[in-house]
């Protein structure tokens, strides 16, 4: 059995069997009743609902998968075989969880209440993952600028930005930042804050993988900070420490244009996407005790705008005189900062062209940012793992 076939059969059959969906949905009948809740985002129509339990069939399928994977893994020492073994183990855990509960889009986000006009209130799903993430984002109070959005976005990006297109390693699939030494890589300083914030949600929704949870938190952060909709779909699986990536895959802010290109070309991005992605620095701030750098990039660090690009062009940037690492500050207020890698976006001719366009046109920036971020968050995830061929658009909380 080929790896692709194995993955496909395992993921589409084992974790999302119709029988299990029906049984699990019994107590959540409103959600599972196709007449009330339609799975509009699935590639194929759902298989016909069986009349009896499919447990024996599932057990048989599981056994077949076990034999196939075991044979494949034990007869090969290649990386692909190891990956198959990991996928199988994680998939088996997911299947166990799925025996009682099978997630659909409605489990990631509360569907509009209009769909439930005639439903019993006690059956309405009010605690879906996206909605709970929004509560976490908003629970910041005195933290930084009053939102956990920026640090959650940075977690999603750092868990994805380790991807290497040549070896196919890294990316958001296995959420390897949970493990040392990746958790302790200098670039990831401070991201324990974001991981710890999401840990209770992992306990609340044990069926979601860390990679899905972290990237969905990134999506929610952007959307809740007034940014564009980020197409997203679930399917990442939890991996093992052995899949953690070596240090040095994330960008070093003290470097220049060549370094940025080396890092982002390795992920498969081009100059335009490098500039668009860098616009993420419209939100958040640097922390002296995390990266050594200090201060926010914009005057509205919890609202996503194109101000990062506007300020790059409109302000005069001078090197900050201090004992910390080389960074720039705006001459007028000295309250904003730019990293050397940000400043290079208006020094390098090719980068500057795109930065100018984004400074002049926020809609264009939002469109390109959304496309690049959506791709970034899927780096390293085999297409066959996704539950849907079309990414979903989650509603932001002000649309619900």
- Residues engaged in binding ligand HEM (CB under 6 A): 150-151, 153-154, 157, 190, 251, 253, 260, 277-278, 280-281, 283-287, 290-291, 293, 339, 341, 373
User: Which tokens is 187 given?
Assistant: 């670039």
Cα–Cα dist 46/40, whole Å: 10
Among 157, 207, 297, 317, the one annotated catalytic = 297
Among 158, 207, 214, 232, the one annotated catalytic = 158
C-beta closer to ligand HEM: residue 46 or 164:
164
User: What torsion do the CA atoms of 128, 131, 132, 136 make, to the nearest 10 degrees?
Assistant: 170
Rg (CA), the chain: 22
C-beta closer to ligand HEM: residue 105 or 249:
249
Q: Contact, 158 vs 214, CB < 8 A?
A: no
Task: Work out how close the CB of 285 gets to ligand HEM at its nearest, in angstroms, rounded to a whole number.
Answer: 5
Cα–Cα dist 156/318, whole Å: 31
Instruction: Please enumerate, as own/partner, the contacts of 190-195 that have beta carbons within 8 Å and a separation of 24 or more.
Output: 190/151, 190/287, 190/289, 190/290, 190/291, 191/151, 191/154, 191/155, 191/158, 193/148, 193/151, 194/148, 194/151, 194/152, 194/154, 194/155, 195/155
C-beta closer to ligand HEM: residue 46 or 190:
190
Task: Work out how close the CB of 101 gets to ligand HEM at its nearest, in angstroms, rounded to a whole number.
Answer: 32
Task: Work out how close the CB of 290 gets to ligand HEM at its nearest, in angstroms, rounded to a whole number.
Answer: 4
Task: Work out how close the CB of 205 gets to ligand HEM at its nearest, in angstroms, rounded to a whole number.
Answer: 24
C-beta closer to ligand HEM: residue 58 or 151:
151
Taking CB atoms, the residue at the shortest distance from ligand HEM is 284
- Across the chain, the runs of DSSP E, i.e. the strands, are 285-286, 295-296, 317-319, 328-330, 337-338
297 classed as catalytic = yes
C-beta closer to ligand HEM: residue 23 or 245:
245
Task: Work out how close the CB of 226 gets to ligand HEM at its nearest, in angstroms, rounded to a whole number.
Answer: 14
Cα–Cα dist 183/174, whole Å: 13
* Catalytic residue numbers, as ranges: 158, 297
């Amino acid at each position: 059995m080929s790896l692709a076939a194995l993955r496909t059969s395992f993921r589409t059959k084992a974790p999302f069997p119709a029988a299990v969906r029906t049984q699990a949905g019994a107590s959540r009948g409103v959600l599972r009743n196709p007449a009330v809740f339609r799975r509009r985002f699935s590639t194929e129509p759902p298989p016909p609902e069986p009349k009896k339990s499919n447990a024996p069939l599932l057990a048989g399928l599981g056994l077949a998968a076990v034999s196939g994977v075991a044979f494949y893994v034990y007869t090969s020492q290649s990386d692909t075989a190891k990956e198959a073994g990991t996928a199988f183990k994680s998939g088996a855990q997911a299947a166990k969880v799925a025996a009682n509960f099978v997630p659909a889009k409605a489990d990631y986000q509360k569907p509009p209440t209009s769909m439930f006009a005639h439903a019993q209130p006690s059956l309405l799903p009010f605690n879906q993952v996206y909605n709970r993430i929004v509560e976490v984002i908003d629970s910041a109070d005195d933290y930084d600028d009053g939102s956990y959005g920026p640090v959650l976005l940075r977690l999603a990006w750092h868990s994805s930005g380790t991807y290497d297109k040549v070896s196919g390693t890294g990316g958001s699939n296995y959420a390897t930042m949970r493990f040392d030494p990746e958790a302790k890589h200098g670039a990831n300083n401070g991201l324990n804050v974001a991981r710890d914030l999401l840990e209770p949600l992992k306990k609340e929704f044990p069926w979601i993988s860390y990679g899905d949870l972290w990237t969905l938190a990134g999506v929610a952060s952007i959307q809740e900070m007034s940014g564009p909709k980020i197409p997203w779909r679930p399917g990442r699986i939890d991996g093992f420490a052995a899949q953690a990536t070596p240090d040095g895959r994330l960008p070093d802010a003290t470097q220049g244009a060549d370094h940025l290109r080396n890092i982002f070309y390795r992920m498969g991005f081009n100059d335009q996407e490098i500039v668009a992605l860098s616009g993420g620095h419209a939100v958040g701030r640097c922390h002296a005790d995390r990266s050594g750098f200090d201060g926010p990039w914009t005057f509205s660090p919890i609202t996503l705008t194109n101000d990062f690009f506007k300020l790059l062009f409109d302000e005069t940037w001078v090197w900050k005189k201090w004992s910390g690492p080389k960074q720039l500050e705006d001459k007028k207020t000295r309250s904003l900062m730019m990293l050397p890698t940000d400043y290079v976006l208006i020094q390098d001719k090719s980068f500057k062209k795109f930065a100018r366009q984004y400074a002049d046109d926020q809609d264009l920036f939002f469109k390109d940012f959304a496309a690049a971020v959506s791709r970034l968050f899927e780096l390293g995830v085999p297409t066959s793992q996704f539950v849907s061929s079309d990414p979903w658009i989650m509603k932001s909380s002000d649309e619900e």
